[in-house]
Amino acid sequence: MALYHLRINPISRSAGRSAPAAAAYRAGERIRDERTGRLHNYSSRRDVTHTEIFVPSALKANDASWARERGRLWNAAESAEHQRNSRVAREYQVALPAELSAAQRLELARGFSRELADRHHVAVDLAIHEPRAGGDPRNHHAHLLTTTRELTATGLGGKTGIDMAYAESLKRGVSTGLKELVAIRERWATLVNDAFRAAGLEQRVDHRSLRAQGIDREPVSHIPFAAYQMERRGLRSEVAERIRERYRARVAARAAQPASTLAVEAAGRAPDPFAQGVAGIEEIRQRAREAWLQLRREAQPGAEAQPAAEPHATRQKARDQSASAADLQSDAVDKDFCL
């Protein structure tokens, strides 16, 4: 069964991370962080099979030559940020199908890197990792480290892509935030399925949730890489045991429900926002804001009705809240995932 995996992580100073460190780890190279003076040396890695830096196609070769020097690129990304909690880079981590050949996986990763570079006008630092000895033999994957700022002929410009300010995205007429995340996830699924078709394989992947696909089962639990490694060494991992126990409990609870109950719940269940697209999510948010304002007016009968927030301010607040939640979930230490 083909597996879909795409995880988007911010590389943030607030989590103690830096762009040169992230780049050195993924590429298996030796890079000095000019901002801190610290040397990050991962040149002993043997699981990195391919590295390459992509720049926007619109730039002339001479204008972007400096960005193809890994150390220079990521130190420039660091020096462009001045806040202690700045996001200095973005990472797109994807599973490369084990069903494809090494050449086909390389072509797939390079195509996605090229599209991201052109879509957001950023530099994309691609590193492909093969499965580690003793690990899951299907664990072919790629790290695409991107700048959060546009790559221009004179250096790094303003924030772009997912990190672009909402007002700027309106001015340019481009998508950002959650809408852009969904679009990228869908695009990766399309590229993987295109690669399967080109290879004459019947496997397919889907970026949507099981619920959106109409599949009535519990999602398979993910065991963290550190817990997985502990168990491979013969040690007990309480984290992994708790995850498996919660999964078994959810499966048992679902199996205990009569088929009629499941059908009734499915019929009366609220539509899945991801099945409807981002418009459905925005509508849900708008309804929640309106309900909150109504409760506020009822709680203060003597006060004048408060006008609804300006659309721009409201959407910007929602975007900031979504970004903060995403940081809590995905801003983790640099570790290879385990399928």
DSSP 29-77: -EEE-TTT--EEE-TT---EEEEEEE--TTS-TTTTGGGGSHHHHHHHH
Amino acid 10: pLDDT:
95
How far apart are alpha carbons 207 and 191 in whole angstroms? Answer: 11
How far apart are alpha carbons 237 and 254 in whole angstroms? Answer: 26
Amino acid 322: pLDDT:
43
At residue 85, what is the residue type? Answer: N
Amino acid 276: pLDDT:
47
Beta-bridged to residue 6, according to DSSP, are: 94
**Which ranges of 199-306 would DSSP assign to H, the alpha helix?**
210-213, 225-232, 238-256, 259-268, 273-276, 278-299
Amino acid 52: pLDDT:
98
**Which two tokens mark 226?**
């550190």
Amino acid 317: pLDDT:
44
CATH 3.30.930.30-classified regions of the chain: 6-204+325-330
Amino acid 312: pLDDT:
45
Beta-bridged to residue 41, according to DSSP, are: 30
User: Which stretches in the chain have pLDDT values below 70?
Assistant: 1, 259-339
Residues 42-54: tens digit of each pLDDT = 999 999 999 999 9
Q: Tell which CATH classification among 3.40.50.300, 3.30.565.10, 3.40.50.720, 3.30.930.30 matches the domain 6-204+325-330.
A: 3.30.930.30
Which one, of 101, 95, 109, 97, lies nearest residue 50 by Cα? 109
